[in-house]
Amino acid sequence: MVDELWLVRHGETEWSAAGRHTSTTDLPLTDRGSEQARVLAPVLAGTSFTLVVTSPRRRAVQTARLAGFEDTAADPDVAEWDYGDYEGVTTPTIRETEPGWTVWSHGAPGGETAEDVTRRIDRFLRGLESIPGRVLVFSHGHASRCVAARWLDLPVTEGGRFTLDTATVSVLGHEHGRRAVACWNSPGGPR
């Protein structure tokens, strides 16, 4: 199994800045998001990775390239939670008709359920079982939080307990033989 799994949430997009749920809509980074991604380059440059994976979405691929990683493998299993009918809608707007809604507790009508996301995140993690060293993943807010939850053998719905800002680095590793969080939501990477 991989020694460390590094997660990078993509840089800012127009919709992430506005709090709009973005899954399949393939938005580019804003100017600020591009700058955020460039700032990641020196943070990640001193670390070697056995494999670098991106979500197939443009915002994740752009973040990887601007952070210095041209040679990546796109994997749809680390794409963002499919928000279905809530694509492009903010949480406060959804809660006007569905009080208390979260993607963690309710899923997304016309999109993915927690069970759907669990299946693909588990498939992704199983694919890392024979890869030694460090793996770097450029992904999304909810998807990365789901990866962390499943790394810790928690239900994906527990991903809601992890906050995750744009263009931040998180590291999942091991502590005394158990999977652990080594660093979370850091704009400067691990210390």
Tokens, residue 64: 């990887």
User: Coil, strand, or helix at residue 42?
Assistant: helix
Q: 4, 12, 80, 112: which one is catalytic?
A: 80
- Catalytic residue at 80? yes
- Catalytic residue at 112? no
8 A C-beta contact, residue 71 and residue 22: no
Pairing of strands 4-9, 51-54: unpaired
- Residue 121 burial by CB count (10 A; 0-12/13-18/19+): exposed, middle or buried? buried
Place of tokens 């931040």: 168
Tokens, residue 160: 């809601």
Residues 6 or more apart from 178 whose CB is under 8 A from it? Answer: none
Place of tokens 């208390």: 100
Helices and strands in the chain, H and E counts: 7, 6
Q: 10, 21, 140, 142: which one is catalytic?
A: 10
8 A C-beta contact, residue 126 and residue 5: no
Residue numbers annotated as active site: 10, 80
